[in-house]
Structure 1
């Protein structure tokens, strides 16, 4: 068993893509996703980072959850992205919810350039998605839906 080596702004070059970003927003190829925008997961919150993953499944959850939490009817969008600067492990899941970083989730204070859209992704069954939404609602009700940003 190998020890988990944290991904930091100073040591991220070894992490290879492809990288994905899931969201409720439709954007064009070539657009830069930048920090300082509204959070996909907490209304009224401005994000200091842009979040992304090297696992498609993680981005699919991002697209589905952000869309459902906003009350939107569509399934959301998953984009292929390229970081334009250094990045680090997403502390909201790394070692908080999952030991190491099995979701391959990251965040950056730099832009992510949208280089393509993934259109053939498979969403979760409605009952699985509802289970995740119920879990998030429980965390919120208990005051434990804290986003470290």
Structure 2
């Protein structure tokens, strides 16, 4: 912060002695100082966008829209295939998935209940593994929809 203030002050003094308000060097340096100031006060980046409406603890949730929007569906067990009913539209027609499957500590390590989602039934096709309290805000178009899922224990640390 002090470096930015000193830079801005030096630029201002240099501009007064130079008496050329349109000096390119001054404008470039001033723009750089402003950019540095913006970066210094920018909020930290988040690892992932969490759903506005939380997924219940112990469950995996699928939404029909990207970024956890639209109609939601919930599962808490392995599903070799989702029935073609409205109860599972968030997976059959899903565009985003979040896992709230849970974590625990054992022997000084953090463990979790991860879930692997598949683009095909019977745990076939492309797969993506999701750790607890994480999600996929936008399933790639090449993945298609979630057609099956399987839970498994995973070491997180």
Same fold (TM over 0.5): no
Q: TM-score, normalised by structure 1?
A: 0.24
Structure richer in helix, relative to its length: 2
Q: TM-score, normalised by structure 2?
A: 0.23
RCO higher in 1 or 2 (8 Å CA, sep ≥ 6)?
1
Structure richer in strand, relative to its length: 2
Q: Which has the larger radius of gyration?
A: 2
